[in-house]
C-alpha cells in the first residue's frame, strides 16, 4: 500500500473516531411481564428470537424491571433470583447489554401498564393492619402501588425500615449477579424511587379515577407525613398551619377551578410556598438517601446508578404548573424544580433519566396547556448544568418518523459535531417498548433507521469507552449536600438553545406519517 493510501486511511480513521463521540446508545425496554408473577421466565425461546431481531437492528441493549414483588414475595429476605438469572444469561448470550431497574413499585394502575405485579405479599399484609404505610390523599384513599416515603425511616417491616429493605434487596441482587456485573453485562442500575419507578408522588393514578389532563392530588396524608409536616410547621413558628384541604381540588380538576392553583392562588402565599417546599424537599431527601444506600451496595462495580424523573407536561403553561406541583416537582416560571434533583444525582454520579422526549406540543389539546418540548429543554438543561449525565425515554409507544425525529433532536440538541464530542448530547436513550407491533415489518424498518441515526450513522460500537464518557468503577458518593445548598439550584436560568429540527432525520415520510402530522396541526387549531 502506498504512503498516500496509508495517510488517507489514517485520516479516515481519525475522522471516524471524532464522529464516534456523537454515538448515542439505544436500549429497548422488555415487556413488563417477561417474568411471571409466579417467578418464571415466560416463553424463553420467543424472547431469544426477539432479542436476536433487536440485535439485527444494532441496538446496544435492553432494559428490564426487576420486580421486588416477584423476587421477595414469599417473606422478608426470602429472595429468589432464579428466573432473572436465566433471563440475564439469555441477554448475555445474545450479545446485548442490560439496564436493570430496581422496581420497588407495583406494576398496574399507570399509563401503559398491561399486567399486574403487586408489591410483596408480606408487605401488603402489614398494610392491612397499618394502611398508613401507603401514600394517601386528603380523602384518605390509599395507593398501594408503593410505600410512602413517610416510612423510609420507620422500622415497621419486621424490624426494618423501608430504606433498609431497599438496601437489602439491592445487596442480594449484587451478591447473586456478581459475576454478570464483573463481566460488564449490566451497564446501569436504575433505582426505583416511587410510582412507576419515578422520583415523584403518585398524584395521577388511573385506578383512582384520574384522567388526562387532570391536575392530580397531593399525596401526603398518611399519618407519618402528616406528623412530619406538623413538626416542620411548628419549627417554623406556624403551629396552626395545616396541609392543603379541599381548596387544592380533586384529580380531574383544572387549576382555575381550585383556590390553591388558580392564578394568584394559595400556592403563591407564604403558607403555600412553605408547604410546597416541604413537599418537594421530602422527595429530594428520599431520593438522596436511597441512592446513597445504592452507592454503598454497588461500590467497586463497573456500573452507573440512574434515577428516573417523570415528564409531567400538562399545565406546564399555566402559571401554577399544577400537575407538576402535586407530583412533587416544585417548578414555576421563577423557580426551577428539576435542577435541585439533578444536583442530588450529581452527588452520586447518577444518570438523570427523563421521559416524554418524543412528544410535541401540537399533539396535545390546547386546553391542557401542555408544553413537552419546553419541559424537555428545561429538564435536560438542568441536568447538564449540574454536570449530570442525562438519559431519556419516550413516554408512549410510537412507531412513526415524526416521533423518532423529535427524539433525535432532543438527544443531540445542536446536532452532530464531526470534529469531536457535540456540545450537548444524552448519555443513552431507552425505547419503550419491545412488542409485536414494533417488530412488524414496516415499523421495524423505520426503527432500524432510527437506531442508525442515534448512532450518528455509524456501525454498532461495543466499547462505550471509545465514544463517550466511560463507565468507571463506582466510587463512594460525594459528601451529603445541605438542603440549603440544594435549594440554591432553584434559581431559574435560560435553557440551552435547541435546534428546531434534528440534522440527522429518519427520512422518507410515508403517507401515514404525513397524515398524522396534518391531523395534529388541524386538531391544535380547533382545540
Residues 6+ apart with CB under 8 A from 454: 23, 24, 25, 26, 407, 408, 411, 429
Q: What is d(CA 383, CA 495) in angstroms, rounded to the nearest whole number? A: 10
256, 257, 259, 264: CA torsion to nearest 10: 10
Catalytic pick from 145, 358, 386, 393? 393
The enclosing H or E element of 90 equals helix 82-93
3-state secondary structure 307-338: EEECCCCCCCCCCCCHHHHHHCCCCECCECCC
92 annotated among ligand-binding-site residues: no
Asked if the peptide bond before residue 433 counts as cis, ω within 30 degrees of 0, the response is: yes
308 annotated among ligand-binding-site residues: yes
313 annotated among ligand-binding-site residues: yes
**Which of 60, 85, 290, 314 has the alpha carbon at shortest distance from 198?**
290
**Contact of 76 with 157, CB cutoff 8 Å:** yes
318 annotated among ligand-binding-site residues: no
88 SS3 class: helix
**96 torsion bin: left (phi>0), alpha (psi -120 to 50), beta (else):** beta
Q: What is d(CA 21, CA 134) in angstroms, rounded to the nearest whole number? A: 45
105 annotated among ligand-binding-site residues: yes
Q: What is the per-residue DSSP string for 27-52?
A: EEEPPTTSB-TTS-B--HHHHHHHHH
* DSSP structure class, residue 491: S
Active site residue 358: no
* DSSP structure class, residue 198: B
Q: What is the largest CA-CA distance in the chain?
A: 86
312, 318, 323, 329: CA torsion to nearest 10: 70
| Residue position matching grid coordinates 456523537 | 22
3-state secondary structure 338-383: CHHHHHHHHHCCCEEEECCCCCCHHHCCHHHCCCHHHHHHHHHHHH
490 annotated among ligand-binding-site residues: no
Active site residue 270: no
Q: What is d(CA 407, CA 405) in angstroms, rounded to the nearest whole number? A: 5
Catalytic pick from 144, 190, 198, 363? 198
258 annotated among ligand-binding-site residues: no
**365 burial via Cβ count (<10 Å: 0-12, 13-18, 19+):** middle
Residues forming a β-bridge with 354: 309, 392
182 annotated among ligand-binding-site residues: no
168 annotated among ligand-binding-site residues: no
Residue numbers belonging to the annotated binding site: 65, 105, 113, 308, 313, 355, 394-395, 433
Active site positions, annotated? 198, 393
Residue numbers belonging to the annotated binding site for substrate: 65, 105, 113, 308, 313, 355, 394-395, 433
Amino acid at each position: 500500500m502506498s504512503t498516500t493510501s496509508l495517510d488517507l486511511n489514517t485520516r479516515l480513521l481519525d475522522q471516524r473516531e471524532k464522529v464516534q463521540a456523537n454515538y448515542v446508545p439505544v436500549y429497548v425496554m422488555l415487556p413488563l411481564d417477561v417474568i411471571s408473577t409466579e417467578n418464571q421466565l415466560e416463553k424463553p425461546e420467543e424472547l431469544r428470537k426477539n432479542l436476536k431481531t433487536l440485535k439485527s437492528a444494532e441496538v446496544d441493549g435492553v432494559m428490564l424491571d426487576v420486580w421486588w414483588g416477584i423476587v421477595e414475595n414469599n417473606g422478608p429476605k426470602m429472595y429468589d433470583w432464579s428466573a432473572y438469572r436465566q433471563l440475564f444469561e439469555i441477554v448475555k448470550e445474545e450479545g446485548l447489554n442490560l439496564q436493570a431497574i430496581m422496581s420497588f413499585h407495583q406494576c398496574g394502575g399507570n399509563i401503559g401498564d398491561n399486567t399486574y405485579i403487586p408489591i410483596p405479599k408480606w408487605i401488603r399484609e402489614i398494610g392491612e393492619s397499618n394502611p398508613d404505610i401507603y401514600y394517601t390523599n386528603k380523602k384518605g384513599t390509599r395507593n398501594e402501588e408503593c410505600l410512602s416515603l413517610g416510612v423510609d425511616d420507620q422500622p415497621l417491616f419486621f424490624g426494618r425500615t423501608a430504606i433498609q429493605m431497599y438496601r437489602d434487596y439491592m445487596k442480594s441482587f449484587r451478591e447473586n449477579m456478581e459475576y454478570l456485573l464483573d463481566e460488564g453485562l449490566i451497564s446501569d442500575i436504575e433505582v426505583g424511587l416511587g410510582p412507576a419507578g419515578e422520583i415523584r408522588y403518585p398524584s395521577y393514578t388511573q385506578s383512582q379515577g384520574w384522567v388526562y389532563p387532570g391536575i392530580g392530588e397531593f399525596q401526603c396524608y398518611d399519618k407519618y407525613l402528616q406528623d412530619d409536616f406538623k413538626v416542620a410547621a411548628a419549627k417554623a413558628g406556624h403551629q396552626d398551619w395545616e396541609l392543603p384541604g379541599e381548596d387544592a381540588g380533586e384529580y380531574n380538576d383544572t387549576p382555575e377551578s381550585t383556590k390553591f392553583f388558580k392564578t394568584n392562588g394559595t400556592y403563591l402565599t407564604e403558607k403555600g410556598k412553605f408547604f410546597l417546599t416541604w413537599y418537594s424537599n421530602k422527595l429530594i431527601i428520599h431520593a438522596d438517601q436511597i441512592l446513597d444506600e445504592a452507592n454503598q451496595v454497588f461500590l467497586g462495580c463497573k456500573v452507573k446508578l440512574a434515577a428516573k424523573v417523570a415528564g409531567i407536561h400538562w399545565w406546564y403553561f399555566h402559571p401554577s404548573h399544577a400537575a407538576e406541583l402535586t407530583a412533587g416537582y416544585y417548578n414555576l416560571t421563577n423557580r426551577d424544580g428539576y435542577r435541585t434533583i439533578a444536583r442530588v444525582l450529581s452527588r452520586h454520579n447518577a444518570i438523570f433519566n427523563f421521559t416524554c422526549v418524543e412528544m410535541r406540543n401540537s399533539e396535545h389539546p390546547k386546553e391542557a396547556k401542555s408544553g413537552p418540548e419546553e419541559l424537555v429543554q428545561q429538564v435536560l438543561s438542568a441536568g447538564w448544568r449540574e454536570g449530570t449525565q442525562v438519559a431519556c425515554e419516550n413516554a408512549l409507544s410510537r412507531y412513526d418518523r415524526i416521533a423518532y425525529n423529535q427524539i433525535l433532536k432532543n438527544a443531540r440538541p445542536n446536532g452532530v459535531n464531526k470534529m469531536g464530542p457535540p456540545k450537548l448530547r444524552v448519555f443513552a436513550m431507552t425505547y419503550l417498548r419491545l412488542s409485536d407491533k414494533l417488530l412488524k415489518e414496516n415499523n421495524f424498518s423505520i426503527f432500524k433507521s432510527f437506531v442508525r441515526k442515534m448512532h450518528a450513522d455509524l456501525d454498532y460500537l461495543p466499547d462505550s469507552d471509545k465514544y463517550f464518557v466511560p463507565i468507571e468503577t463506582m466510587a463512594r458518593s460525594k459528601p451529603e449536600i445541605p438542603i440549603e445548598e440544594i435549594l440554591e439550584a432553584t434559581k431559574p436560568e435560560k435553557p440551552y438553545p435547541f435546534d428546531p429540527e434534528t440534522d440527522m432525520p429518519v427520512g422518507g415520510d410515508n403517507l401515514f406519517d404525513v397524515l398524522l402530522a396534518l391531523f395534529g396541526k388541524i386538531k391544535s387549531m380547533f382545540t
